[in-house]
């Protein structure tokens, strides 16, 4: 029996719509969903190729424990008992500061995982460490939110469908595909801003590999770039009035 089931990609935050082809309960292929309201038929190669990851013969599907002859499969009960004993010993000897948790991107789409992780980290102790995929690739964005808004989780989202001026500093959404904005067709959204008479301004010391769809402000020395952009905007408004 062959079924075509609508789903979405959980590799990164744009959540592109996908159609999963399932044959007799086995995933055989993934393709972009043309009817998805946001991605409208777009998906990057990572999402399309994920069927190969699911069906990879080397994929880990059971707990593995290192032994004298390498890794050997064990049951979940054995794994959890072993981990609990070793973690308890580490906490007794070194304290909560010796424990760190890393959460990958797909786990962010599970509300139960987030609740469980936060309860676990708080239970371990206040000196424990918590890292996510954002610690690797969006820590600058979280730091900016902390300095500007008082919290790393206060992340303002630009209204791409209505704005007439989009300013990006040190970002390349053509490569990141609109991650953090839930905008899987970010390149099209930037073109749309220009088509309706708006502007897209990029402040970045690195020259792009792809041509930008709009006005570009570049600076090889980004120090003070934000101040200059705001000053330029005030000057334009004063001339207009």
**46: enclosing H helix or E strand:** helix 45-48
User: What pLDDT, on the 0 to 100 scale, is given for residue 232?
Assistant: 53
| Domain span at 70 | 61-94
**Residue 21: closest CA among 12, 29, 11:** 29
Whole-model pTM?
0.68
- Output the six-digit token pair for 11: 């590799």
Q: What is the pLDDT of residues 91-113, one digit of tens each?
A: 999 999 999 989 887 787 788 88
The answer to whether position 72 is within a domain reads yes
Q: How much is the pLDDT for 82? A: 96
Q: Do residue 80 and residue 101 come from a single domain?
A: no
Per-residue pLDDT tens digits for 152-175: 878 888 888 899 999 887 777 777
CATH number assigned to the domain comprising residue 50: 3.30.200.210
Six-digit token string for 58: 């080397």
- Determine whether 56 is exposed, middle or buried from the number of CB atoms within 10 Å of its CB (0-12, 13-18, 19+): exposed
Helix, strand, coil in percent for the chain, rounding step 5: 40, 20, 40
CA angle 185, 143, 174 (to 5 degrees): 20
Q: Are residues 17 and 28 in the same domain?
A: yes
The answer on 40 and 6 residing in a single domain is yes
Domain annotation covers residue 50: yes
Candidates 82, 142, 159; CA nearest to 72 is 82
Beta-bridged to residue 159, according to DSSP, are none
Whether residue 103 is found in the same domain as residue 173: no
pLDDT computed for residue 235 by the predictor: 46
Paired tokens of 99:
């424990």
Whether residues 41 and 9 fall in one domain: yes
Does 146 map to a domain? no
pLDDT digits (tens, 9 = 90+) for 118-135: 899 889 999 999 888 888
Would you call 171 exposed, middle or buried from its count of C-beta atoms within 10 A (0-12, 13-18, 19+)? middle
Instruction: Evaluate whether 15 touches 179 at the Cβ level (below 8 Å).
Output: no
For the chain, the domain total comes to 4
Pair 179, 219 in one domain: yes
- State residue 10's pLDDT score: 86
Do 159 and 203 have their domain in common? yes
- Supply the Cα-derived Rg of the chain in whole angstroms: 23
Question: Tokens in use for 135?
Answer: 């610690």
Mention every residue, 6+ apart, whose C-beta is less than 8 A from residue 157. 181, 182
118: tokens are 């936060």
Let me know: does 38 contact 182? Beta carbons within 8 Å.
Answer: yes
Same domain, 47 and 73: no
Q: Are residues 77 and 110 in the same domain?
A: no
Residue 230 above 70 pLDDT? no
Task: Output the pLDDT for position 223.
Answer: 53
pLDDT at 212 over 80: no
The mean pLDDT value for 187-207 works out to 85
Instruction: Flag whether pLDDT at 41 surpasses 90.
Output: yes
In the prediction, which pLDDT does 241 show? 45
Residues 8, 49 share a domain: yes
Q: What angle do CA 82, 84, 87 make, to 5 degrees?
A: 105
Across the range 174-200, mean pLDDT stands at 84
- Three-state DSSP class for residue 232: helix
The answer to whether residue 147 sits within a structural domain is: no
Provide the β-strand partners of residue 6.
19
pLDDT value of residue 209: 53
């Amino acid at each position: 029996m062959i079924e075509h089931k609508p789903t979405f990609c959980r590799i990164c935050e744009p959540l592109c719509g996908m159609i999963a082809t399932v044959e007799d309960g086995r995933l055989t292929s993934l393709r972009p969903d043309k009817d998805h309201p946001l991605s409208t038929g777009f998906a990057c190669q990572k999402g399309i190729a994920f069927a190969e990851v699911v069906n990879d013969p080397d994929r880990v599907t059971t707990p593995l424990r290192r032994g004298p002859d390498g890794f050997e499969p064990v049951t979940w009960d054995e794994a959890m008992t072993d981990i609990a004993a070793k973690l308890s010993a580490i906490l007794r000897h070194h304290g909560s500061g010796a424990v760190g948790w890393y959460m990958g991107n797909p786990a962010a789409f599970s509300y139960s995982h987030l609740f469980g992780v936060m309860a676990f980290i708080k239970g371990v102790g206040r000196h424990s460490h918590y890292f996510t995929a954002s610690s690797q690739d969006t820590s600058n964005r979280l730091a900016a939110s902390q300095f500007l808004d008082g919290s790393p989780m206060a992340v303002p989202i630009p209204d791409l469908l209505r704005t007439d001026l989009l300013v990006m500093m040190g970002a390349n959404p053509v490569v990141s595909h609109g991650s953090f904005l839930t905008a899987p067709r970010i390149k099209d959204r930037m073109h749309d801003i220009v088509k309706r008479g708006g502007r897209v301004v990029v402040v970045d010391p690195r020259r792009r590999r792809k041509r930008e769809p709009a006005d570009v402000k570049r600076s090889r020395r980004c120090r003070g770039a934000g101040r200059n952009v705001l000053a330029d905007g005030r000057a334009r408004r004063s001339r207009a009035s």
